[in-house]
A and B are shown apart, each in its own frame.
Chain A
Amino acid sequence: MNNRRTQYEIYWEILTYCKTPRLITQVIQRCNLNTKIGQEYLDFLVSKEYLTKTLEKDKTLFTTTPAAKGYMETFMRLYMELFKNTPEFKL
């Protein structure tokens, strides 16, 4: 999906996807990013210690750390709240 997303939405998507170790190419493909932007997002999340880099068979894998839990939960709570108190639609 090439929807217009905010950077925070993309951070959340990356962190959710990297709950199991992922290659940068997998992250870029799954989150529909270009290499440059994808690398920037990953670097930011690594700098926040929300992601760790591990080397496995000459390949760098990104994994979500327990430190990201707070961000992910806050994000989910706020987004779920967007659906509270909204009208139910009828045709």
Chain B
Amino acid sequence: MNMELDLNSTQTKLQKEMKHFFALTVMSLAFAGIVIAFVVASLTVNIPALRTGDSTMLLNSFSNIVISLIVGYLAFRFLISTAELLSRFDDIKQDDAGETPVSSESITGKIIQLMGLYREERPHIQRMILVSRVAGVCFFANALIQTVLLVINYTGGTLELASGVGGIIVSLIMGLVGFLLPSSFKKYAVCWDQRIVKGNEAEKTIASFLEDSS
């Protein structure tokens, strides 16, 4: 009875965790896609604006282009890493589709696959965390630059104010998402690091079991 309860609780935990991780990865993909769309939009607006003779406008466009290119590169790296991770994770997810009731063997098999995936993808996940944070910083920097420029150049027009504030809010939201996503990934990373350590301890027990049984 206890074993059955343990099995059900582990299965529920595993399924929930996989579902959340999958959702998080899909959200990251969407985030990277939106960021790339912003970068393209920003470049489309700012590159033609480089022809202006106004030095303040020129500085504004130039800083936007530089930030856009950095963020675009990071978003592209982030997109590739996330897509790779999602593809491998999806393989594991599909393996158990439709198996009911779930046996302890299939759960153990799933744990092995997930541990293997984490061992292999750990550097990717760490890179994703870093890249997303840097992208978040870039968005915050962009929001700051836009705020400063708005304050300097504001001439009193409502449309000018609305578009300026809109741009700042979008940058702030993207910056916030850039920080929230990696913090969720970080939770998984910390938890899986602990599991890997415990797994290494379990390995010692298994090794001594094998030695004793000879």
Contact = CB atoms under 8 A, between A and B. Distances in A.
Interface of A: 1, 3-6, 8-9, 12-13, 16, 48, 67, 70-71, 74-76, 78-84, 86-91
Given A74-B206, A83-B13, A90-B20, A13 B109 contact: yes
B54 interface: no
A71 B199 contact: no
A70 B211 CA distance: 13
Interface residues of B, number: 46
A79 B119 contact: no
A79 B114 CA distance: 11
Contacts of B205: 74, 78
Given A1-B113, A12-B108, A88 B199 contact: no
Contact of B108 (A5, A71, A79): A79
Given A13-B112, A90-B20, A3 B117 contact: yes
A2 B21 CA distance: 20
Given A74-B209, A83-B13, A12 B112 contact: yes
17 contacts: A3-B112, A3-B116, A4-B116, A5-B115, A9-B115, A16-B109, A78-B205, A80-B104, A83-B13, A83-B14, A86-B194, A86-B195, A87-B191, A88-B16, A89-B16, A89-B20, A89-B191
